[in-house]
């Protein structure tokens, strides 16, 4: 298993490339000056500024709500789609469903955003719903594109899973619905959690689609951040970034610790 120094150096360069900007974000969030050029001393004033900024706080709250609802809907729909694609064999429209369920993974966001907006406008004209754009339309849009990611993750788990578990349940007298809730669901639960978290992150992070389909009063956090950032560097945004990074780092650390613990348990528990 010779890795050699070239590989380590190349990989190392890659990791530095990945993390240098993040580190600089964090470092300059504590800079007492507005300018990136000059280090004026350690200060947490930008964090204070952040917490008094109404626009950002409101937007954060809106984004959180949208994120939770979209993630939950996306997980439910994505799991159904994954079930259908891995367990339901052939049926008319299978190819169509496969295409629709996985295309959003790579579809450019401007296309998704614009087309959904035009749909909402047309629907409003003909059906009267949705009445204007706002949180509802953003939720629908986010659910639709996040669903694809959940489908891929859950489908992968369903394929890897030992199907004889489901057959054993059927053999012992459980009907199809019972089998799903008693056996399938508990076994794929980690994939559902991963899917939910991914959908939540994608929703929280989405700028383009939200810009198209959102409306007054439903500005999401990325929309607010983007409008600030277009004008140049703004240290309170650095502070926001650092907070987000810290939260994510803690969450990932916990997840990692859980994973290594489970793996160690599995290695011993044989």
- Say which residues have a Cβ less than 8 Å from residue 39's Cβ, sequence separation at least 6: 31, 33
What backbone torsions phi and psi does residue 42 show, to the nearest 5 degrees? Answer: -80, 135
Residues in the chain: 270
| Whole-number Å distance between alpha carbons of 129 and 134 | 12
Interaction residues for another protein, span 19-38 (CB under 8 A): 19-22, 24-25, 28, 35-37
- Structure letter (DSSP) for residue 31: B
Binding of another protein by 165 (CB under 8 A): yes
Binding of another protein by 48 (CB under 8 A): no
Q: Pick the binder of another protein from 59, 62, 69, 183 (CB under 8 A).
A: 183
User: Quick one: 2 or 54, whose CB is closer to another protein?
Assistant: 2
Nearest-10 Cα torsion for 153, 155, 160, 162: 130
HSE on the CB side for 87, CA within 13 Å? Answer: 22
Binding of another protein by 1 (CB under 8 A): yes
Choose the binding region for another protein from 44-52, 54-62, 128-136, 251-259 (rule: CB under 8 A).
251-259
Reading the block at residue 38, the tokens are 């000059």
Cis peptide before 130 (omega within 30 of 0): yes
Give least dist CB 142 to another protein, A. 11
Which burial class, exposed, middle or buried, applies to 141 when counting CB atoms under 10 A from its CB (0-12, 13-18, 19+)? Answer: buried
Give least dist CB 2 to another protein, A. 7
Q: Pick the binder of another protein from 70, 75, 136, 144 (CB under 8 A).
A: 144
User: Quick one: 58 or 241, whose CB is closer to another protein?
Assistant: 241
The answer to whether 82 and 158 are in contact (CB under 8 A) is yes
Which residue, 178, 180, 200, is CA-closest to 84? 180
Binding of another protein by 254 (CB under 8 A): no
Give least dist CB 186 to another protein, A. 4
- Contact letters for another protein, residues 56-85 (x by CB under 8 A): ---------------------xx-xx-xx-
Give least dist CB 48 to another protein, A. 19
Binding of another protein by 217 (CB under 8 A): no
Binding of another protein by 260 (CB under 8 A): yes
User: Quick one: 58 or 86, whose CB is closer to another protein?
Assistant: 86
Interaction residues for another protein, span 83-122 (CB under 8 A): 83-84, 86-89, 91, 93, 96-112, 114-116, 118-119, 121-122
- Contact letters for another protein, residues 187-206 (x by CB under 8 A): x-------------x--xx-
Which residue, 110, 101, 108, 114, is CA-closest to 143? 101
| Whole-number Å distance between alpha carbons of 242 and 231 | 20
């Amino acid at each position: 298993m010779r890795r050699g120094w070239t590989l380590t150096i190349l990989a190392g360069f890659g990791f530095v490339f990945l993390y240098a900007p993040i580190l600089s974000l964090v470092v300059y969030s504590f800079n007492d000056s507005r300018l990136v050029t000059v280090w004026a001393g350690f200060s947490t004033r930008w964090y204070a500024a952040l917490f008094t900024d109404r626009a950002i706080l409101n937007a954060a709250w809106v984004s959180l709500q949208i994120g939770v609802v979209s993630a939950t809907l996306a997980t439910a729909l994505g799991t159904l789609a994954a079930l259908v694609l891995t367990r339901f064999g052939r049926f008319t429209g299978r190819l169509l469903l496969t295409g629709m369920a996985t295309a959003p993974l790579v579809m450019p966001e401007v296309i998704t955003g614009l087309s959904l907006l035009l749909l909402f406008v047309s629907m409003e004209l003909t059906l009267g719903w949705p009445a204007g754009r706002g949180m509802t339309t953003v939720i629908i849009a986010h659910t639709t594109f996040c669903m694809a990611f959940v489908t891929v993750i859950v489908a992968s788990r369903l394929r890897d899973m030992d199907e004889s578990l489901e057959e054993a349940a059927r053999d012992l007298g459980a009907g199809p619905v019972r089998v799903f809730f008693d056996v399938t669901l508990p076994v794929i639960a980690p994939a559902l959690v991963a899917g939910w978290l991914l959908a939540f992150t994608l929703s929280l992070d989405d700028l383009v689609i939200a810009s198209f389909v959102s409306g007054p009063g439903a500005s999401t956090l990325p929309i607010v951040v983007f409008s600030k950032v277009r004008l140049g560097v703004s240290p309170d945004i650095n502070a926001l970034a650092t907070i987000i990074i810290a939260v994510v780092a803690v969450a990932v650390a916990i997840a990692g610790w859980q994973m290594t613990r489970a793996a160690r348990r599995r290695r011993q528990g044989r």
